[in-house]
A and B are shown apart, each in its own frame.
Chain A
Amino acid sequence: MRNFVNKRAASLQPSGIRKFFDIVSKMEGAISLGVGEPDFVTPWNIRDKAIRSLQRGYTQYTGNRGLPELCSLISRYIKERFGVEYPPENTIVTVGASEAIDLALRAVCDVGDEILIPEPSYVSYAPAVTLAGGAPVPVICSAENKFILTPERLESAITPKTKALILAYPNNPTGAIMTKAQLEAIIPVIEKHDLLVISDEIYAELTYTGTHVSIASLGDMRGRTVLINGFSKAFAMTGWRVGFVCAPPEIDAAMLKIHQYTILCAPQTGQRAAVCALKEGLADGFSTVEDMRAEYNRRGRFLVNAFNSLGLDCFQPEGAFYVFPSVEKTGMNGESFANELLRRYKVAVVPGSAFGAAGEKHVRCSYATSMRNLTAAIERISDFTEEIKSRI
């Protein structure tokens, strides 16, 4: 029998995280700082609305775009929260922001098109570009610059084949954000080379030093930005699989075609839940989101303070729920540090190399877990770093 797997799928590297997961899941008493989802359960009122919608029999397909009510609410939400204007008719409700990323790339990449990905980056972008037929091009961002994308780095990565730039701020894994000024600085470069921006803003509600700024709200960027966001992180709805994408008309139309043929529509139950989340949030100023945000902020500060006092340099993350300390001072790289920390001290952190070569000397630690776990993890990490010092 011949090999049926195509070259493209065969060429994808399995996630660097997989190995770790296998070890941690078999380990008793391991503390995991490797999670990527909130430790809050979806607020009860949202779950309740969804349960009622099931009881009443709302179990059918919805229109391809999604429930009209939801598209309207999304349009209102992004306008009121982030000053971004996309009409409901250019909004698609997707199966998580993950599908939105895939749609955008499949609508835009021709074979050979280069898509710029600032690194360290979320694990899915490069594979999604490859699957869409494009060529992923990393743009290394440095810790000295707090991992933001600078106009110089951007300019130096552009070639005649470059078509689009993926921006993911607030960032997984670094916790970095880009301010209005920093975004404005890269706009001239983007416009000069006529690039499209695919902006993954899934962590937009989790910012700690001011409101998130979307590049789509600046200058004329709306006409060349595909805005991706969703409900997973802000509303603790990761398992529901509901996200959305807003784009200029032609790209929206192309994405809708792909979405129609491949997914048909996002789950109706999830959409009903999302409607509730937005309706109630808009009415009460998103107070539940605020409470979650404040809690994450406290944990993040505690963690950064702890890491810095252990000699693992990291800057205060301004968004998302990750810290990205450097383990350089221990003389190890991220992978060996993480491996030994797991094996001998039973704390799981994710090696920075899983997010690109730029993360090699780092590890990613999530604070989407209880203070109790964080405190215990820090104690074990402290024992580890003490022991390393005594070896040198």
Chain B
Amino acid sequence: MDRLEKDILALIAEDSRLTAKKIAAMLAAEEKLVAEKISALEKSGIIVKYTAILNTDSIEEESVEALIEVKVTPQRGHGFDMIAGEIAAHDEVKNLYLMSGAYDLAVIVQGKSLRSVSRFVSEKISTYDTVISTATHFILKKYKVEGAVMYKAGVPERISIQP
């Protein structure tokens, strides 16, 4: 990956709404080249998806998220991939990571209520043959998500006009 591609990715990761034109201006590059690079990065799957980070606390509709620590028995020939793939296929699963340490899979689930998340875990996750145990932790408050601060608590103000 060349310097330009790295810089483009850094900018897009920070703000996915930047147009190729703006990115080109910021990086002193040709707009056409930047557009081509972005296209190539999308095709190759390096850029997977463009999305927005929402502050769900401020949204009227209730939603509940939980982090579930899942212990599994890895399967011969498949390792963890098979079970991870099956769990990830559920729409309720927002994030799924293979972890080092005391448990194997960190699964972040979003549901309408405490009850619906608990039911999802007990009916859909715990029931897999290869799942040994689960430990569910409910997310109470999000302070920072993917680098975006959710609560602007006490950020010092700058004087607006200075020599």
Contacts and interface: CB of A to CB of B under 8 A. Distances in A.
Contact of A17 (B11, B27, B158, B161): B161
Nearest to B162: A36
Interface string B2-25: 000000000100010000001001
B162 A305 contact: no
Interface string B149-163: 000000010111111
Interface residues of B, number: 14
B98 interface: no
A286 interface: no
A26 to B, nearest CB: 10
B160 A35 contact: yes
A137 B156 CA distance: 39
A77 interface: no
Nearest to B156: A41
Contacts, number: 52
Contact of B22 (A24, A37, A123, A302): A302
A371 interface: yes
A35 B161 CA distance: 5
B40 interface: no
A32 interface: yes
A375 to B, nearest CB: 8
B27 A21 contact: no
Contacts of B28: 301
Contacts of A350: 161
B26 interface: yes
A302 B26 CA distance: 5
A365 B25 CA distance: 17
Interface residues of A, number: 30
B159 A21 contact: yes
A359 interface: no
A30 B160 contact: yes
B161 A32 contact: yes
A59 interface: no
A307 B28 CA distance: 15
A301 B160 contact: no
A25 interface: yes
B158 A123 contact: no
Contacts of B158: 35, 37, 39
A301 B163 contact: no
Contacts of B159: 21, 35
Contact of A301 (B15, B26, B156, B162): B26
A371 B15 contact: yes
Interface string A1-31: 0000000000000010100110011000010
Given A302-B22, A371-B15, A34 B27 contact: no
A124 B162 CA distance: 12
B160 A123 contact: no
Contact of A348 (B22, B26, B161): B161
Contacts of A124: 163
Interface in A322-366: 348, 350, 354
A15 B163 contact: yes
A354 to B, nearest CB: 8
A122 interface: yes
Most buried by B among A17, A41, A298: A298
A34 B161 contact: yes
A305 B161 contact: no
Interface string A119-148: 000111000000000000000000000000
B163 A122 contact: yes
B32 to A, nearest CB: 16
Nearest to A300: B26
A45 B113 CA distance: 42
Contacts of B11: 298
Contacts of B25: 301-302, 305-306
Contacts of A172: 163
Contacts of B26: 298-299, 301-302
Find the residue from A299, A371, A372 having the highest chain B CB count within 10 A.
A371
Contacts of A39: 158
Nearest to A34: B161
Interface string A296-316: 001101100110000000000
Interface of B: 11, 15, 22, 25-28, 156, 158-163
Given A305-B25, A354-B163, 13 more contacts: A17-B161, A17-B162, A17-B163, A20-B161, A21-B159, A30-B160, A32-B161, A34-B160, A34-B161, A34-B162, A35-B160, A122-B163, A298-B27
26 contacts: A15-B163, A17-B161, A21-B161, A25-B160, A32-B160, A34-B160, A34-B161, A34-B162, A35-B158, A35-B160, A35-B161, A37-B158, A37-B162, A39-B158, A41-B156, A123-B163, A172-B163, A298-B27, A299-B26, A301-B25, A301-B27, A302-B26, A305-B25, A348-B161, A354-B163, A371-B15
Interface of A: 15, 17, 20-21, 24-25, 30, 32, 34-37, 39, 41, 122-124, 172, 298-299, 301-302, 305-306, 348, 350, 354, 371-372, 375
